[in-house]
Amino acid sequence: MTAYTLPPDKLAKALVLYHAGIWSYFGGTLWTVLVLYLLLRVGAGAAIRNLAARVTPRQLLQGFIVAPFWLVILTAIDLPISLALHHLNLRYGISVEPWSMWWIDFAKSLGLTLVVGTAVLSVLYLLIRRSPRRWWLWFWIISLPIELAAVFLVPIYIDPLFNHFSPLAKADPALVQQLERVSARGNLHIPPSRMFVMNASAKVTGPNAYVTGFGSSKRIVVWDTTIRELPTPQILAVYAHEQGHYVLHHIQKGMLFSALVTFIFFWIAFQLFRYVVLWRTRSFHISSLDDWSSLGALLLVVMVLGFFVDPVSNAFSRHIEHQADVYGEEAIHGLVPNPQATMAASFQRLGELWLEVPHPNPFVVFWTYSHPPTSYRMSFAAHYNPWAPGHHPRYIGPQSGDSIR
Ligand SMILES: [Zn+2]
Protein backbone atom coordinates (compact mmCIF):
# COMPACT_ATOMS: atom_id res chain seq x y z
CA MET A 1 0.00 0.00 0.00
CA THR A 2 1.57 3.29 -1.06
CA ALA A 3 -1.32 5.79 -1.20
CA TYR A 4 -2.87 7.22 1.95
CA THR A 5 -6.60 6.54 2.15
CA LEU A 6 -9.29 6.51 4.82
CA PRO A 7 -12.37 4.28 5.06
CA PRO A 8 -15.62 6.25 4.45
CA ASP A 9 -16.61 6.63 8.14
CA LYS A 10 -13.19 7.99 9.15
CA LEU A 11 -13.03 10.17 6.04
CA ALA A 12 -16.33 11.84 6.98
CA LYS A 13 -15.02 12.61 10.48
CA ALA A 14 -11.65 13.77 9.13
CA LEU A 15 -13.37 16.21 6.76
CA VAL A 16 -15.39 17.76 9.61
CA LEU A 17 -12.22 18.22 11.70
CA TYR A 18 -10.31 19.56 8.68
CA HIS A 19 -12.96 22.20 7.94
CA ALA A 20 -13.25 23.07 11.63
CA GLY A 21 -9.48 23.62 11.67
CA ILE A 22 -9.66 25.94 8.66
CA TRP A 23 -12.58 27.92 10.09
CA SER A 24 -11.03 28.23 13.52
CA TYR A 25 -7.70 29.42 12.12
CA PHE A 26 -8.75 31.81 9.35
CA GLY A 27 -12.11 32.75 10.87
CA GLY A 28 -10.54 32.97 14.34
CA THR A 29 -7.88 35.40 13.13
CA LEU A 30 -10.50 37.56 11.41
CA TRP A 31 -12.70 37.44 14.52
CA THR A 32 -9.84 38.49 16.83
CA VAL A 33 -8.79 41.34 14.53
CA LEU A 34 -12.39 42.53 14.21
CA VAL A 35 -13.09 42.51 17.96
CA LEU A 36 -9.76 44.24 18.70
CA TYR A 37 -10.56 46.89 16.09
CA LEU A 38 -14.02 47.53 17.54
CA LEU A 39 -12.61 47.73 21.09
CA LEU A 40 -10.08 50.31 19.91
CA ARG A 41 -12.80 52.31 18.13
CA VAL A 42 -14.91 52.56 21.29
CA GLY A 43 -11.85 53.79 23.21
CA ALA A 44 -10.88 50.70 25.21
CA GLY A 45 -7.18 51.64 24.93
CA ALA A 46 -7.62 54.94 26.75
CA ALA A 47 -10.22 53.54 29.16
CA ILE A 48 -7.91 50.75 30.40
CA ARG A 49 -4.96 53.18 30.64
CA ASN A 50 -7.13 55.65 32.65
CA LEU A 51 -8.15 52.87 35.01
CA ALA A 52 -4.47 52.09 35.65
CA ALA A 53 -3.61 55.79 35.95
CA ARG A 54 -6.17 56.14 38.75
CA VAL A 55 -4.31 53.41 40.68
CA THR A 56 -0.75 54.69 40.11
CA PRO A 57 0.86 57.62 38.27
CA ARG A 58 3.98 55.56 37.52
CA GLN A 59 4.00 54.24 33.96
CA LEU A 60 5.95 51.09 34.77
CA LEU A 61 3.42 50.08 37.43
CA GLN A 62 0.49 50.99 35.16
CA GLY A 63 1.80 48.27 32.84
CA PHE A 64 1.10 45.65 35.50
CA ILE A 65 -2.59 46.53 35.16
CA VAL A 66 -2.87 47.42 31.45
CA ALA A 67 -0.91 44.44 30.09
CA PRO A 68 -2.81 41.69 32.00
CA PHE A 69 -6.09 43.44 31.14
CA TRP A 70 -5.40 43.18 27.39
CA LEU A 71 -4.02 39.64 27.69
CA VAL A 72 -7.24 38.54 29.39
CA ILE A 73 -9.25 40.26 26.63
CA LEU A 74 -7.27 38.40 23.95
CA THR A 75 -7.80 35.08 25.75
CA ALA A 76 -11.52 35.79 26.11
CA ILE A 77 -11.85 36.60 22.39
CA ASP A 78 -10.28 33.26 21.53
CA LEU A 79 -12.13 31.22 24.19
CA PRO A 80 -15.31 30.35 22.20
CA ILE A 81 -13.15 28.89 19.41
CA SER A 82 -11.04 26.84 21.85
CA LEU A 83 -14.21 25.51 23.51
CA ALA A 84 -15.75 24.53 20.18
CA LEU A 85 -12.56 22.76 19.07
CA HIS A 86 -12.24 20.78 22.29
CA HIS A 87 -15.92 19.80 22.06
CA LEU A 88 -15.32 18.52 18.51
CA ASN A 89 -12.10 16.68 19.43
CA LEU A 90 -13.93 14.93 22.28
CA ARG A 91 -16.82 14.02 20.03
CA TYR A 92 -14.55 12.49 17.37
CA GLY A 93 -12.35 10.69 19.89
CA ILE A 94 -9.18 12.68 19.15
CA SER A 95 -9.23 13.95 22.73
CA VAL A 96 -10.22 12.13 25.91
CA GLU A 97 -9.41 15.04 28.21
CA PRO A 98 -12.30 15.68 30.62
CA TRP A 99 -13.57 19.27 30.74
CA SER A 100 -12.39 19.65 34.35
CA MET A 101 -8.80 18.88 33.30
CA TRP A 102 -9.18 21.10 30.23
CA TRP A 103 -10.17 24.08 32.40
CA ILE A 104 -7.26 23.45 34.77
CA ASP A 105 -4.86 23.50 31.79
CA PHE A 106 -6.60 26.62 30.52
CA ALA A 107 -6.09 28.36 33.88
CA LYS A 108 -2.43 27.32 34.02
CA SER A 109 -1.69 28.57 30.53
CA LEU A 110 -3.57 31.82 31.19
CA GLY A 111 -1.46 32.30 34.34
CA LEU A 112 1.73 31.73 32.33
CA THR A 113 0.56 34.12 29.61
CA LEU A 114 -0.17 36.81 32.19
CA VAL A 115 3.21 36.49 33.95
CA VAL A 116 5.39 36.15 30.83
CA GLY A 117 3.30 38.52 28.68
CA THR A 118 3.26 41.28 31.31
CA ALA A 119 7.03 41.03 31.80
CA VAL A 120 7.68 41.14 28.04
CA LEU A 121 5.31 44.07 27.43
CA SER A 122 6.74 46.03 30.39
CA VAL A 123 10.25 45.68 28.95
CA LEU A 124 8.95 46.63 25.51
CA TYR A 125 7.28 49.85 26.68
CA LEU A 126 10.34 50.74 28.74
CA LEU A 127 12.40 50.48 25.53
CA ILE A 128 9.84 52.48 23.53
CA ARG A 129 10.11 55.29 26.08
CA ARG A 130 13.92 55.15 26.23
CA SER A 131 14.62 54.78 22.51
CA PRO A 132 11.71 55.96 20.33
CA ARG A 133 13.55 55.15 17.06
CA ARG A 134 15.51 51.98 17.84
CA TRP A 135 13.33 50.18 20.39
CA TRP A 136 12.47 47.43 17.93
CA LEU A 137 16.20 46.66 17.49
CA TRP A 138 16.94 46.65 21.25
CA PHE A 139 13.90 44.50 21.83
CA TRP A 140 15.12 42.04 19.18
CA ILE A 141 18.60 41.90 20.75
CA ILE A 142 17.12 41.23 24.18
CA SER A 143 14.77 38.60 22.75
CA LEU A 144 17.65 36.41 21.52
CA PRO A 145 19.10 35.23 24.87
CA ILE A 146 15.56 35.06 26.27
CA GLU A 147 14.50 32.73 23.46
CA LEU A 148 17.57 30.59 24.07
CA ALA A 149 16.80 30.41 27.80
CA ALA A 150 13.15 29.60 27.04
CA VAL A 151 14.05 26.68 24.74
CA PHE A 152 16.36 25.40 27.48
CA LEU A 153 13.90 25.82 30.37
CA VAL A 154 10.54 24.87 28.80
CA PRO A 155 11.07 21.07 28.87
CA ILE A 156 12.26 21.25 32.49
CA TYR A 157 9.81 23.69 34.06
CA ILE A 158 6.86 24.36 31.71
CA ASP A 159 6.05 21.05 29.96
CA PRO A 160 5.69 19.13 33.28
CA LEU A 161 2.98 21.60 34.30
CA PHE A 162 0.74 20.14 31.61
CA ASN A 163 1.87 16.52 31.18
CA HIS A 164 3.54 13.79 33.17
CA PHE A 165 6.98 12.61 31.99
CA SER A 166 8.94 9.59 33.12
CA PRO A 167 12.18 7.96 31.97
CA LEU A 168 11.55 5.67 29.01
CA ALA A 169 14.15 3.24 30.42
CA LYS A 170 11.84 2.65 33.38
CA ALA A 171 8.59 2.43 31.41
CA ASP A 172 9.84 0.20 28.60
CA PRO A 173 13.49 -1.00 28.89
CA ALA A 174 13.08 -3.37 25.94
CA LEU A 175 12.05 -0.48 23.72
CA VAL A 176 15.06 1.59 24.83
CA GLN A 177 17.27 -1.29 23.68
CA GLN A 178 15.60 -1.21 20.26
CA LEU A 179 15.89 2.57 20.04
CA GLU A 180 19.59 2.41 20.91
CA ARG A 181 20.09 0.29 17.80
CA VAL A 182 18.60 3.12 15.74
CA SER A 183 20.85 5.71 17.39
CA ALA A 184 23.89 3.48 16.84
CA ARG A 185 22.84 3.30 13.19
CA GLY A 186 23.18 7.09 13.03
CA ASN A 187 26.55 7.02 14.84
CA LEU A 188 24.94 8.79 17.70
CA HIS A 189 24.69 8.01 21.35
CA ILE A 190 21.58 9.51 22.85
CA PRO A 191 21.81 8.41 26.48
CA PRO A 192 18.65 6.69 27.76
CA SER A 193 18.51 9.47 30.37
CA ARG A 194 17.54 11.79 27.48
CA MET A 195 14.60 9.58 26.46
CA PHE A 196 11.25 10.21 28.09
CA VAL A 197 7.76 8.83 27.81
CA MET A 198 4.89 11.31 28.11
CA ASN A 199 1.58 10.27 29.60
CA ALA A 200 -0.35 11.64 26.60
CA SER A 201 -3.11 9.03 26.89
CA ALA A 202 -4.62 11.08 29.74
CA LYS A 203 -5.64 13.65 27.11
CA VAL A 204 -5.41 12.33 23.54
CA THR A 205 -5.65 9.07 21.62
CA GLY A 206 -3.18 9.65 18.75
CA PRO A 207 0.52 8.75 18.80
CA ASN A 208 3.35 11.26 18.58
CA ALA A 209 6.96 11.92 19.55
CA TYR A 210 9.10 15.03 19.56
CA VAL A 211 12.52 16.50 20.25
CA THR A 212 12.81 19.46 22.57
CA GLY A 213 15.24 21.43 24.72
CA PHE A 214 18.71 22.79 24.19
CA GLY A 215 22.14 21.75 25.46
CA SER A 216 21.78 19.60 28.54
CA SER A 217 17.97 19.90 28.50
CA LYS A 218 17.73 18.43 24.97
CA ARG A 219 15.63 15.27 24.92
CA ILE A 220 13.51 12.89 22.86
CA VAL A 221 9.97 12.42 24.09
CA VAL A 222 7.79 9.50 22.99
CA TRP A 223 4.08 9.63 23.82
CA ASP A 224 2.70 6.56 25.59
CA THR A 225 -0.02 6.49 22.90
CA THR A 226 2.74 5.69 20.38
CA ILE A 227 3.85 2.66 22.36
CA ARG A 228 0.22 1.57 22.73
CA GLU A 229 -0.92 2.09 19.13
CA LEU A 230 2.09 1.20 16.94
CA PRO A 231 3.96 -2.09 16.42
CA THR A 232 7.68 -1.92 17.31
CA PRO A 233 9.06 -1.41 13.76
CA GLN A 234 6.73 1.60 13.34
CA ILE A 235 7.77 3.01 16.73
CA LEU A 236 11.36 2.76 15.49
CA ALA A 237 10.30 4.66 12.35
CA VAL A 238 8.69 7.44 14.42
CA TYR A 239 11.69 7.55 16.73
CA ALA A 240 14.15 7.62 13.80
CA HIS A 241 12.35 10.69 12.43
CA GLU A 242 12.79 12.42 15.82
CA GLN A 243 16.42 11.36 15.94
CA GLY A 244 16.74 13.10 12.55
CA HIS A 245 15.68 16.38 14.16
CA TYR A 246 18.25 15.77 16.90
CA VAL A 247 21.16 14.81 14.60
CA LEU A 248 20.43 17.43 11.93
CA HIS A 249 20.39 20.19 14.60
CA HIS A 250 16.88 21.29 13.76
CA ILE A 251 16.33 23.00 17.11
CA GLN A 252 19.42 25.21 16.61
CA LYS A 253 18.45 25.88 12.98
CA GLY A 254 14.92 26.70 14.10
CA MET A 255 16.25 29.23 16.61
CA LEU A 256 18.45 30.88 13.95
CA PHE A 257 15.54 30.98 11.55
CA SER A 258 13.29 32.51 14.17
CA ALA A 259 15.96 35.13 15.01
CA LEU A 260 16.01 36.16 11.35
CA VAL A 261 12.22 36.19 11.04
CA THR A 262 11.70 38.15 14.27
CA PHE A 263 14.29 40.74 13.14
CA ILE A 264 12.20 41.47 10.04
CA PHE A 265 8.96 41.06 12.01
CA PHE A 266 9.98 43.62 14.67
CA TRP A 267 11.09 46.15 12.04
CA ILE A 268 7.80 45.89 10.12
CA ALA A 269 5.84 45.95 13.40
CA PHE A 270 7.75 49.12 14.37
CA GLN A 271 6.81 50.84 11.09
CA LEU A 272 3.20 49.66 11.15
CA PHE A 273 2.72 50.55 14.80
CA ARG A 274 4.04 54.08 14.18
CA TYR A 275 1.75 54.41 11.20
CA VAL A 276 -1.32 53.17 13.09
CA VAL A 277 -0.68 55.45 16.08
CA LEU A 278 -0.02 58.42 13.80
CA TRP A 279 -3.12 57.97 11.66
CA ARG A 280 -5.50 56.53 14.24
CA THR A 281 -4.61 58.70 17.25
CA ARG A 282 -8.16 60.08 17.44
CA SER A 283 -10.27 57.17 16.32
CA PHE A 284 -8.34 54.71 18.57
CA HIS A 285 -8.11 57.25 21.47
CA ILE A 286 -4.31 56.90 21.75
CA SER A 287 -2.27 59.64 23.48
CA SER A 288 1.12 58.64 22.12
CA LEU A 289 3.17 55.64 21.00
CA ASP A 290 4.91 55.22 24.38
CA ASP A 291 1.71 55.57 26.41
CA TRP A 292 -0.10 52.43 27.59
CA SER A 293 -3.22 53.57 25.67
CA SER A 294 -1.46 52.30 22.52
CA LEU A 295 -1.16 48.66 23.67
CA GLY A 296 -4.39 47.51 22.00
CA ALA A 297 -3.19 48.97 18.69
CA LEU A 298 0.16 47.18 19.12
CA LEU A 299 -1.60 43.86 19.73
CA LEU A 300 -3.70 44.43 16.61
CA VAL A 301 -0.53 45.02 14.56
CA VAL A 302 1.15 41.91 16.03
CA MET A 303 -1.98 39.83 15.35
CA VAL A 304 -2.15 40.83 11.68
CA LEU A 305 1.60 40.46 11.13
CA GLY A 306 1.68 37.11 12.92
CA PHE A 307 -0.95 35.83 10.50
CA PHE A 308 1.31 36.66 7.57
CA VAL A 309 4.38 35.14 9.23
CA ASP A 310 2.64 31.76 9.67
CA PRO A 311 3.13 30.57 6.05
CA VAL A 312 6.81 31.54 6.26
CA SER A 313 7.51 29.60 9.44
CA ASN A 314 5.35 26.70 8.27
CA ALA A 315 7.32 26.47 4.99
CA PHE A 316 10.53 26.25 7.04
CA SER A 317 8.96 23.65 9.32
CA ARG A 318 7.74 21.49 6.41
CA HIS A 319 11.25 21.63 4.95
CA ILE A 320 12.95 20.29 8.09
CA GLU A 321 10.15 17.76 8.67
CA HIS A 322 10.82 16.34 5.23
CA GLN A 323 14.54 16.12 6.03
CA ALA A 324 13.69 14.22 9.23
CA ASP A 325 11.49 11.85 7.18
CA VAL A 326 14.40 11.14 4.82
CA TYR A 327 16.79 10.67 7.75
CA GLY A 328 14.33 8.43 9.58
CA GLU A 329 13.89 6.09 6.66
CA GLU A 330 17.65 5.82 6.18
CA ALA A 331 18.17 5.21 9.91
CA ILE A 332 15.85 2.20 10.10
CA HIS A 333 17.29 0.62 6.96
CA GLY A 334 18.74 -2.73 7.97
CA LEU A 335 16.93 -2.69 11.32
CA VAL A 336 13.39 -3.37 10.12
CA PRO A 337 12.48 -5.86 7.41
CA ASN A 338 11.36 -3.23 4.87
CA PRO A 339 12.00 0.44 5.67
CA GLN A 340 9.77 1.73 2.85
CA ALA A 341 6.79 -0.38 3.86
CA THR A 342 7.34 0.27 7.59
CA MET A 343 7.56 4.03 7.14
CA ALA A 344 4.55 4.11 4.80
CA ALA A 345 2.51 1.94 7.19
CA SER A 346 3.36 4.25 10.09
CA PHE A 347 2.04 7.28 8.15
CA GLN A 348 -1.14 5.39 7.27
CA ARG A 349 -1.63 4.53 10.95
CA LEU A 350 -0.83 8.06 12.18
CA GLY A 351 -3.18 9.56 9.59
CA GLU A 352 -6.01 7.22 10.63
CA LEU A 353 -5.57 7.88 14.34
CA TRP A 354 -5.33 11.67 13.97
CA LEU A 355 -8.04 11.68 11.28
CA GLU A 356 -5.93 13.49 8.68
CA VAL A 357 -7.67 14.16 5.36
CA PRO A 358 -6.05 12.52 2.31
CA HIS A 359 -6.31 15.58 0.04
CA PRO A 360 -5.92 18.89 1.89
CA ASN A 361 -6.22 22.06 -0.18
CA PRO A 362 -2.71 23.18 -1.36
CA PHE A 363 -3.35 26.73 -0.16
CA VAL A 364 -4.35 25.48 3.31
CA VAL A 365 -1.18 23.34 3.36
CA PHE A 366 0.94 26.33 2.28
CA TRP A 367 -0.51 28.61 4.97
CA THR A 368 -1.16 26.35 7.95
CA TYR A 369 0.60 22.97 7.69
CA SER A 370 3.72 22.56 9.84
CA HIS A 371 4.28 19.09 8.34
CA PRO A 372 3.91 17.92 4.74
CA PRO A 373 0.47 16.32 4.18
CA THR A 374 0.26 12.67 5.25
CA SER A 375 -0.44 11.59 1.64
CA TYR A 376 2.83 13.20 0.50
CA ARG A 377 4.87 11.77 3.37
CA MET A 378 3.45 8.30 2.82
CA SER A 379 4.01 8.14 -0.93
CA PHE A 380 7.50 9.62 -0.54
CA ALA A 381 8.35 6.99 2.09
CA ALA A 382 6.99 4.18 -0.06
CA HIS A 383 9.07 5.20 -3.09
CA TYR A 384 12.26 6.54 -1.49
CA ASN A 385 15.01 4.09 -2.33
CA PRO A 386 18.54 5.50 -2.05
CA TRP A 387 19.92 1.95 -1.75
CA ALA A 388 19.09 1.17 -5.37
CA PRO A 389 22.15 0.79 -7.65
CA GLY A 390 23.53 4.21 -8.59
CA HIS A 391 21.79 6.05 -5.73
CA HIS A 392 23.17 7.18 -2.37
CA PRO A 393 21.53 7.81 0.99
CA ARG A 394 21.50 11.50 1.86
CA TYR A 395 22.46 11.25 5.54
CA ILE A 396 23.43 7.73 6.56
CA GLY A 397 25.92 5.76 4.51
CA PRO A 398 25.42 2.07 3.71
CA GLN A 399 26.33 -0.33 6.53
CA SER A 400 26.31 -4.04 6.92
CA GLY A 401 22.77 -4.13 8.23
CA ASP A 402 21.71 -6.33 11.08
CA SER A 403 18.03 -7.01 11.24
CA ILE A 404 15.37 -7.63 13.83
CA ARG A 405 13.71 -10.19 11.59
ZN1 LIG B 1 9.20 16.02 13.04
Contact (Cβ atoms closer than 8 angstroms) between residue 314 and residue 66? no
d(CA 375, ligand 1 centre) in Å: 16
- Which H or E run includes 211? strand 209-212
d(CA 349, ligand 1 centre) in Å: 16
d(CA 209, ligand 1 centre) in Å: 8
d(CA 341, ligand 1 centre) in Å: 19
Low-confidence stretches of the chain (pLDDT < 70) are 1, 397-405
Contact (Cβ atoms closer than 8 angstroms) between residue 324 and residue 244? yes
d(CA 326, ligand 1 centre) in Å: 11
d(CA 260, ligand 1 centre) in Å: 21
Angle between helices 28-41 and 44-55 (to 10 degrees): 60
* Total-model pTM: 0.91
According to the model, what pLDDT value does residue 404 have? Answer: 37
Q: Which residues make up the environment of ion ligand 1, defined by Cβ < 5 Å? A: 321, 324
According to the model, what pLDDT value does residue 403 have? Answer: 40
d(CA 78, ligand 1 centre) in Å: 27
d(CA 112, ligand 1 centre) in Å: 26
According to the model, what pLDDT value does residue 398 have? Answer: 60
According to the model, what pLDDT value does residue 65 have? Answer: 96
What burial class does residue 261 get, using C-beta atoms within 10 Å of its C-beta: 0-12 exposed, 13-18 middle, 19+ buried? Answer: middle
Sequence-ordered list of residues with C-beta below 8 angstroms from that of 249, at least 6 positions apart, any chain: none
Nearest to 213 by CA among 150, 258, 146: 150
d(CA 396, ligand 1 centre) in Å: 18
d(CA 359, ligand 1 centre) in Å: 20
Phi-psi region of 187 (alpha: psi -120 to 50; beta: other; left: phi over 0): left
Angle between helices 59-91 and 8-22 (to 10 degrees): 160
d(CA 54, CA 60): 14
Residue 383 CB neighbours (<10 A): 10
d(CA 210, ligand 1 centre) in Å: 7
Distances (CA, A) of 235 to 216, 374, 398: 25, 17, 22
What burial class does residue 48 get, using C-beta atoms within 10 Å of its C-beta: 0-12 exposed, 13-18 middle, 19+ buried? Answer: buried
d(CA 279, ligand 1 centre) in Å: 44
